[in-house]
């Protein structure tokens, strides 16, 4: 068993006939999935997704994988394979295409259709699409790819088998083993078994639910729960779910039709994605059920259903605006029902509960995963992963897609089934498959790349730290004027503070100590502005810390007059 070490250096040259695996995202976190495979000097990428920021990333819109390790080798990329259409697997693709626009994009019909909307938004033109189906094989350079149907919380998801001279790799993407899926498309365990017979040298498996015992609940179990909610609701129903969860939207449309209600979408991404799913035949809209949101508002409340974005409490989403009573045409009334039909992504709990409280304040009944079966996971639980290991019988396993605890739990399951070599890696840790054995061989530098408005990668960790300090601790500016002739403080300090319950009179006690400290430095012959600013910062910083138990951002300004 290999554990990555922070002391790992750059990987050695890849031996002839070896396959290198470089995860650039998704290992050690839930999101930002991207894995690079190198064989015979050529590169294949599987997935290119985003991570959504949390409260530790103030002002950040998206977090991308770090493309630095492949930036000098963009011409070596044979193709980018996209396993399914979720943001954490396709969302960063336009940013990679900005660096090389003609990378061949390989994926299922729905995945590429959802991606195409993003590419148009980014005004990219030279994209090359290769639409594939389960059971198909296609080659790009030295990589022979075979696609396998897998079941997930979005239709048309695929696992990919990658054949090279180094052996056979099977990458599950995100998957589960729902035996009664709404669309009848199950995870193809027969194909997994056939690949297992051929001999899977390296198995990359989804770790997200590896800590959850047993089997993930079937999507069909949600239908009777939704039916009960609709039957008991006497006014409007608002259902919030992911803008890509076609199966959940299908269940809501069917239930609405059964209860003689009309449905409208709220939220730009929901409108766009469901139009794509409907046009491609992945979503069947019962006749006469859909109306636009304005027409829905004309109907009596007991005939209205809104399907909205914002199930994760995103502050600018439709649901958050409804909860704040700031939505331009949806006004919550007492007795309305709101269904949060999604999982709670770790880190979003406070935002979601804030929205639930906001909705409850206006008298809405809120149905969520905590009090009803209105969502099931899209990922395989421990029982399903055990089945996969027993069917595939891989020689080496690399757990992917999850936090450290998820990947360790997944690896432990593989060991239980008799897999001898489980390799653990995090983002940037390089795994080589040489002569049928996988091992950690080094590390490449990778970090978070922040998208902030129009800026990509310009925001640094230190700037985010500054934003956090400003948000949590406040801001103090100190202006001191120094007479260059006498070498003493001639005016100030003038102190201004923002972001806390500061009062100008609070700073009277520290003004003289600042003057004394600056004068003392000047009397020693040190008139360097930077040194003078530092003594001002240290003096007021120590005082604020000991007196007010705060560590605000301090901006000292020393002016020579």
Report the catalytic residues.
206, 379
Strand partners, 488: 483
259 is in an annotated binding site: no
- Distant-in-sequence, close-in-space partners of 211: CB < 8 Å, separation ≥ 6: 382, 405, 406, 409
As to burial, measured by CB atoms within 10 angstroms (0-12 exposed, 13-18 middle, 19+ buried), residue 11 is: middle
| Residue 59, SS3 per DSSP | coil
Q: Which of 321, 319, 324 is nearest to 339 (CA)?
A: 319
Closest CA to 35 of 44, 26, 23: 23
C-beta separation of 226 from 247 below 8 A: no
Strands, sheet with 62-64, edge to edge from the N-terminal-most edge strand:
62-64, 449-452, 455-456
Strands 304-308 and 237-240: parallel
Q: Is 245 annotated as a binding residue?
A: yes
Give the Cα separation of 471 and 473 in Å (integer): 6
Contact yes or no for 263/307 (Cβ under 8 A): yes
Q: Which residues contact 535 (CB under 8 A, 6 or more apart)?
A: 517, 518, 521
Does residue 162 contact residue 40 with C-beta atoms inside 8 Å?
Answer: no
For residue 495, give every residue at least 6 positions away whose Cβ sits within 8 Å of its Cβ, in sequence order, or none: 476, 477, 478, 479, 504, 507, 510, 511, 540
Closest CA to 489 of 543, 544, 539, 545: 539
| Other CB atoms within 10 Å distance of the CB of residue 357 | 11
Angle at 428 between CA 464 and CA 441, to 5 degrees: 150
The answer to the question of whether 84 is labelled as a binding residue is: yes
Identify the three-state secondary structure at position 121: helix
N residues, the chain: 561
Is 452 one of the annotated binding-site residues? yes
Distance CA 290, CA 263 (A): 5
Whether 89 has a binding-site annotation, put simply, is yes
DSSP structure string for 240-306: E--TT-HHHHHHHHHHHHHTT-EEEEESHHHHHHHHHHHHTTSS-PPTT-B--HHHHHTS-GGGEEE
Across the chain, which distance is largest between two alpha carbons, in Å? 89
User: What are the C-alpha distances in Å from 87 to residues 62, 162, 429?
Assistant: 11, 23, 23
Residue 462 marked in a binding site: no
Question: H or E element: which one contains 514?
Answer: helix 508-523
Question: Is 59 known as a binding-site position?
Answer: yes
Taking the C-alpha atoms of residue 289 and residue 30, their distance in angstroms, rounded to an integer, is 36
Whole-angstrom Cα distance, residue 137 to residue 148? 10
**Tally of CB atoms within 10 A around 336:** 24
377 in a labelled binding site:
yes
Residues annotated within a binding site for Ca(2+): 59, 61, 452
Residues annotated within a binding site: 59, 61, 84, 86, 88-89, 152, 174, 243-245, 375-379, 401, 452
Residues annotated within a binding site for Zn(2+): 84, 86, 88-89, 152, 174, 401
Residues annotated within a binding site for substrate: 243-245, 375-379
């Amino acid at each position: 068993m290999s554990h990555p070490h922070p002391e790992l250096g750059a990987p050695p040259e890849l031996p002839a006939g070896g396959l290198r695996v470089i995860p650039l995202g998704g290992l050690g976190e839930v999101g930002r999935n991207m894995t690079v495979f190198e064989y015979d000097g050529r590169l294949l990428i599987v997935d290119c997704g985003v991570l959504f920021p949390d409260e530790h990333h103030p002002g950040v819109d998206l977090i991308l994988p770090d493309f630095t390790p492949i930036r000098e080798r963009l011409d070596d990329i044979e193709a980018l394979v996209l396993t399914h259409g979720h943001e954490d697997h396709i969302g960063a693709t336009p940013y990679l295409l900005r660096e090389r626009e003609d990378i061949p994009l390989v994926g299922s019909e729905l995945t590429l259709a959802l991606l195409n909307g993003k590419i148009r938004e980014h005004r990219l033109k030279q994209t090359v699409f290769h639409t594939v189906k389960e059971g198909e094989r296609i080659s790009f350079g030295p990589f022979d790819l075979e696609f396998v149907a897998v079941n997930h919380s979005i239709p048309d998801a695929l696992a990919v088998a990658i054949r090279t001279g180094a052996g056979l790799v099977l990458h599950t993407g995100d998957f589960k083993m729902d035996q009664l899926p709404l669309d009848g498309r199950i995870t193809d365990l027969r194909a997994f078994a056939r690949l297992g017979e051929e001999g899977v040298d390296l198995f990359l498996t989804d770790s997200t639910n590896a800590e959850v015992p047993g089997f993930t609940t079937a999507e069909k179990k949600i239908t009777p729960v939704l039916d009960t909610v609709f039957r008991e609701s006497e006014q409007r129903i608002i259902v919030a779910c992911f803008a890509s969860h076609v199966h959940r939207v299908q269940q809501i449309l069917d239930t609405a039709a059964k209860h003689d209600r009309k449905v409208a979408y709220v939220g730009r991404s929901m409108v766009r994605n469901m139009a794509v799913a409907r046009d491609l035949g992945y979503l069947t809209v019962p006749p006469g059920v859909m109306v636009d949101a304005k027409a829905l508002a004309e109907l009596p409340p007991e005939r209205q259903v809104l399907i909205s974005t914002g199930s994760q409490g995103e502050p600018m989403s439709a649901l958050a605006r409804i909860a704040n009573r700031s939505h331009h045409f949806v006004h919550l009334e007492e007795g309305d029902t709101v269904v949060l039909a999604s999982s709670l992504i770790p880190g979003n709990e406070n935002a979601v509960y804030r929205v639930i409280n906001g909705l409850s304040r206006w008298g809405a009944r809120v149905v969520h995963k905590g009090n009803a079966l209105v969502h099931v996971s899209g990922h395989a639980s421990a029982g399903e992963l055990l089945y996969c290991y027993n069917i595939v019988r891989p020689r080496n396993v690399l757990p992917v897609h999850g936090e450290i605890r998820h990947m360790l739990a997944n690896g432990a399951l593989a060991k239980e089934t008799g897999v001898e070599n489980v390799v653990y890696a995090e983002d940037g840790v390089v795994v080589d498959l040489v002569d049928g054995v996988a091992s950690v061989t080094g590390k490449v530098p990778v970090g978070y790349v922040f998208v902030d408005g129009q800026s990509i990668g310009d925001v640094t960790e230190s700037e985010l730290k500054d934003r956090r300090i400003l948000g949590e601790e406040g801001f103090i500016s100190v202006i001191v004027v120094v007479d260059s002739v006498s070498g003493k403080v001639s005016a100030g300090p003038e102190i201004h503070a923002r972001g806390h319950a500061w009062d100008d009179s609070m700073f009277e006690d520290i003004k003289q100590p600042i003057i004394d400290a600056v004068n003392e430095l000047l009397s020693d012959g040190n008139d360097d502005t930077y040194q003078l600013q530092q003594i001002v910062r240290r003096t007021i910083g120590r005082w604020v810390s000991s007196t007010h138990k705060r560590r605000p951002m301090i901006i000292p300004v020393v002016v020579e007059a």
